[in-house]
Structure 1
Amino acid sequence: MRTLLVPVEPSIHAERILELAGLVAGAFGSLIEGFPLRSFGMSAIGWDPESLITVDPTHWNESQTAAEAKAKFVAFMRAKGIAEDGPGPGEAARWRWAHDRPEGDGFLGSYGRGFDLTVVGQPGSEPGASTISTLESALFESGGPILIAPPRPVAQFGETVAIAWNGSTETARTIAFAMPFLQRARRVLLLADDGALGHAPSGEAIRLRLVRNGVPADLKLLPEARIRSGEAILREAESAGCDLLVKGAYTQSRIRQMIFGGATQHILAKARMPVLMAH
């Protein structure tokens, strides 16, 4: 996790995203690249109708917004003692600011392919909150994992990690992306279905995969298909004191989750801890 991409908006919610990115960078000696997220106009509708945001373009000053985003980013980095990137290799965390980037969330996903991780905020309906379109652009278009900052800044991150294993391709991929975090964790709790997963590996098979990668995980089997319940996953993770949740995103279709609900939808709305997701 040596390269992090952080889209920045000049809102009060940017602080929690930057705090989380700073914790990751401190742990891995990462380069944090920020760029102004110009998501004006109308955002795409995700699973939550409240995520439909409109902005009157006559009151939108693009250059001012970008300047404010940069000022917030740079001020945070200097306050945390993170140095600006320079020539030569470095083991300590560094930052740089990307100038002259295209507008909108569409750029975020494609540009994110050049980074190990994209850090975004949990979507919300309050003014200035991150939007579901920003999150889904990074999730579906970057080809890599995203780290979702919860509503409040976190002081501790990645010490106790929960993994929600439901047998899906998306979660198998997310576990692979999460390995640097898992190998640093003090404790890893693997939550898995206790029923038949067909040809998918069992929870014990995933536990052995983790052990062989230097991750001594504890396995907890959840009855009655509760591993497919976002509410049950969060309850188990919170009761174990986890400060990071690893889960594949949208292992059911987004349309189905919009209509019937789903684990991803619930976790994106309710998680109070950072969540690492990939699709």
Structure 2
Amino acid sequence: MKAILVPAESHDDSEHALRMAAEVARRFSGRIECFALQMPPLVNLTWDPAGVAIMSGADLDHRRNREEARRLAARVMSEEDVALEPLADDPSSEEDPARPGTETVLAGAGAVTRAGWAWNDKMMAGDAFLGAYGRAFDLTVVCRPRPEGASITTLESALFESGGPILIAPPHRVKQGFGKTIAVAWNGSSETARTIAFARPFLRAAERVIVLADDGGLNDQPSGAMIQRRLSACGVPVELKTMPSGGIRSGEAILKEATALGADLLLKGAYTQSRLRQMIFGGATSQILAKTELPVFMAH
């Protein structure tokens, strides 16, 4: 977890995501990159003076929100003692890789020994940018969607388009050292298997890992006991907790069990049923995104 991406916004929940990213960066000697997540201002194509005024006002709001997001990121990283660093050179740029000095920058990019952060001043970077840009990072940290805060489209862009995992910050400050007790919601899906693989640095650093499983309802899919053996072989301190029949399909039951066990991080494969089905009938992922007070590590 060396390369961490965090979209910064001007609402209160964004601070919690930034602080969680700082915690992860310190733990794994990682580097955070932040940018202001915003939609482009609406363009008014009319020629009348009132239309020009509306366009100017929207542009002004955009710049103000962007500056507020930058100030928030700078304040949080300063309070978290994460050092500001220059934005790394982009190896895909048109610079000559053989030019003196370039090799040093690129060689050092993967040799991070302490936590640092940089600000990307990308103009009008929205959800599409977040999803695509996240492919160059090990982890994207986002806020739990709420009407007064982050959008579900932001989370889903990072989840579906980045190709990597996301870490979801609940709408409150998370205690330092979170991830000592990890609950893994095992439902036999490829999405959850992928999530476990991405989360290996967190699992190895944990003091206790509990695999939650409903072995009676997995049919021919690998059992919770098999996942326990897999993690144990990697040196992870893991135990198995069997939930009542059907419990692993309920987001509310998963959250209740994880909380009762004292978990401070939940691992869950995202949307193991289709998003459309979850919108109509509900599903574990949708329930967790709506209600979790724990940090959640997800992948699809």
Superposition TM-score, scaled by structure 1 size: 0.90
- What amino acid sits opposite 2:154 in the alignment? T
Residue equivalent to 2:7: 7
- 1:118-176 deviations in whole A, cap 9, x for unaligned? 000000012xx011000000000000000000010101310100000000010000000
For structure 2, which runs of at least 5 residues remain unmatched after alignment?
Answer: 43-53, 87-104
In structure 2, do the counterparts of structure 1 residues 256 and 83 end up closer, same or farther at CA, with 3 Å as the change threshold?
A: same
CA contact (8 A) 1:163 1:189 kept: yes
SS of 1:200's equivalent in the other structure is coil
Q: Is 2:113 the partner of 1:91?
A: yes
Q: Distance in 2 between matches of 1:78 and 1:165?
A: 38
- How far residue 41 of structure 1 moved from its aligned partner, in angstroms, is 6.8
Match of 2:185 among 148, 164, 169: 164
Q: Does 1:180 align with 2:201?
A: yes
Structure 1 counterpart of 2:135: 113
The residue type equivalent to 1:5 in the other structure is: L
Q: Which residue of 1 aligns with 2:174?
A: 154
Equivalent position amino acid for 1:234 in 2: L
**Map of 2:157 onto structure 1:** 137
Letter in 2 for 1:6: V
Q: Any conservation in 2 of the 1:31–1:85 contact (CA below 8 Å)?
A: no
Q: In 2 relative to 1, CA 237–41 (structure 1 residues): closer, same or farther, beyond 3 Å?
A: farther
**Structure 1 residue ranges without an equivalent (≥5):** 43-55
CA distance in 1, matches of 2:281, 2:245: 18
Equivalent AA in structure 2 for residue 131 of structure 1:
S
TM-score, length-scaled by structure 2: 0.84
User: 1:1-279 residue pairs with structure 2 within 5 A?
Assistant: 1-39=1-39, 58-59=57-58, 61-85=61-85, 88=108, 89-126=111-148, 129-156=149-176, 157-279=178-300
Distance 2:70 2:232 in 1: 42
Aligned-residue RMSD, C-alpha: 1.7
Whole-angstrom CA distance in 2 between matches of 1:190 and 1:17 = 26
Q: Distance in 2 between matches of 1:187 and 1:123?
A: 28
Question: Secondary structure of the residue that 1:163 maps to in structure 2?
Answer: strand
Given that residues 165 and 190 in structure 1 are in contact (C-alpha distance below 8 angstroms), is that contact kept between their aligned partners in structure 2? Answer: yes
Number of corresponding residues: 264
One-letter amino acid of the counterpart of residue 163, structure 2:
G
Residue of structure 1 in register with 2:96 after alignment: none
Q: State the distance in 2 between where 1:97 and 1:125 align.
A: 27
Alpha-carbon contact 2:2-2:112 (below 8 Å) kept:
no
Partner AA of 1:95 in structure 2:
W
Residues 194 and 225, structure 1, Cα contact 8 Å, conserved in 2? no
Aligned partner of residue 216 in structure 2, secondary structure:
coil
Letter in 1 for 2:214: D
